[in-house]
Amino acid sequence: MKTKIKKWAVLCMIACSVIFAACDDDKDFSYKGNLDLNLLSIKQARDLWDGTKCNVTTSIKQPLVGEEQKVDEFNYRLSLTLYQNRQATKDATVDLAIASDSLNKAIAMAGMSSAYAIYKDVELLPEGYYNFSANKVTLNAGEKQSEEVELNVDCSQLIKWVQNERGKSVTFVLPVQIQNSTSYGINDKTNTIMFFFDVTYVSPEYIADGEGVPDDHELEGGYRLVWHDEFNGTGAPNTDMWRFEEGFQRNEEDQWYKKDNAEMKENALVFTAKQERVKNPNYNPNATGGNSWKQTREYAEYTSACVVAQNKYAFKYGKLVVRAKIPIEQGGWPAIWSTGNWYEWPLGGEIDFLEFYKNKIHANLCWGGNKRWDGSWNSANYPITDFTSKDAKWAEKYHVWMMDWDEKYIRIYLDDVLLNETDLSTTYNKGDHGAGEGGYINPYSNDLEGFGQLMMLNLAIGGVNGRPIEATFPLEYRVDYVRVYQKK
In a domain? residue 385: yes
d(C-alpha 271, C-alpha 249), whole Å? 17
Is 207 exposed, middle or buried, given 0-12, 13-18 or 19+ CB atoms closer than 10 A? buried
In a domain? residue 108: yes
Domain, as residue range, for 253? 216-485
Q: What is the CATH number of the domain that holds 341?
A: 2.60.120.200
In a domain? residue 6: no
Kindly state whether residues 58 and 122 are assigned to the same domain: yes
- pLDDT tens digits for the chain (488 residues)? 434 333 333 333 333 322 222 333 344 444 344 456 789 999 999 999 988 889 999 999 888 766 666 677 899 999 999 988 899 999 999 999 999 999 999 999 998 888 899 999 999 999 999 999 999 999 999 999 999 999 999 999 999 899 989 999 999 999 999 999 999 999 999 999 999 999 999 999 999 998 899 999 999 999 999 999 999 999 999 999 999 999 999 999 999 999 999 999 999 999 999 999 999 999 999 999 989 999 999 999 999 999 999 999 999 999 999 999 999 999 999 999 999 999 999 999 999 999 999 999 999 999 999 999 999 999 999 999 999 999 999 999 999 999 999 999 999 999 999 999 999 999 999 999 999 999 999 999 999 999 999 999 999 999 999 999 999 999 999 999 999 999 98
Domain count for the chain, please give it: 2
Instruction: Quote the pTM value.
Output: 0.78
Q: In what order do the strands lie in the sheet with 453-461?
A: 242-244, 306-309, 453-461, 332-340, 350-357, 360-368, 375-383
Kindly state whether residues 367 and 240 are assigned to the same domain: yes
In a domain? residue 7: no
Kindly state whether residues 350 and 457 are assigned to the same domain: yes
* Cα atoms in the 13 Å half-sphere on the side-chain side of 157: 11
In a domain? residue 467: yes
